[in-house]
Amino acid sequence: MITYRLPCDWEISLPDHWQGEYDRKSGQCVFYPENSDLTIRITPFHAEKDGIPAPAEVMEKAYRNTIPASAMERDANPYHLNGFTVKRYENAWEENHRTVHVIDVGYYAAGELLSISIWGTSKAACENCLDLLQTLRFKR
């Protein structure tokens, strides 16, 4: 496993054969195994004003605004992280004669939001990636 340090004091560990890069334009950390259409996109946010963190409700609203109306909320309890509330959604659609599956998981607390999207054409592969969320760490 390789541990990646993400912006805003987050870390995640992923298998050695995965590649990782930071897309400065979108602010996303993008991870993927070679020779696969599976992708994990992670976007960390920190929000405060005059040194006071934004309320958790504001961070939740910011996360929910990124979720398509067609996504279905799912049980997120297995992916909890101490000090954070977690929400999980699933969605799928047809694109170029293939089904694209997306699992969105959001962790939020006062001033902090970590948005994770797992993309792939195999629902099982996307679900298996959820186990990697057990390696998430917030280092602040």
Give the model confidence (pLDDT) of 76-99 as tens digits: 888 889 999 999 999 999 998 999
* Phi, psi for 129 (deg, rounded to 5): -65, -25
Q: Return left, alpha or beta for 97; rule: phi > 0 is left, psi -120 to 50 is alpha, else beta.
A: left
Tokens of 107: 């962790």
Distance between alpha carbon 1 and the CA centroid of its chain, in Å?
Answer: 18
56 C-beta neighbours (distance < 10 Å), count: 16
Give the confidence band of 136 by pLDDT, cuts at 50, 70, 90. Answer: very high
pLDDT at position 50: 94
- pTM for the whole structure: 0.92
Confidence at residue 78, expressed as pLDDT on a 0 to 100 scale: 86
Q: At 130, is the pLDDT very low, low, confident or very high (cuts 50, 70, 90)?
A: very high
Dihedral, CA of residue 76, residue 10, residue 17 and residue 19, to nearest 10: 110
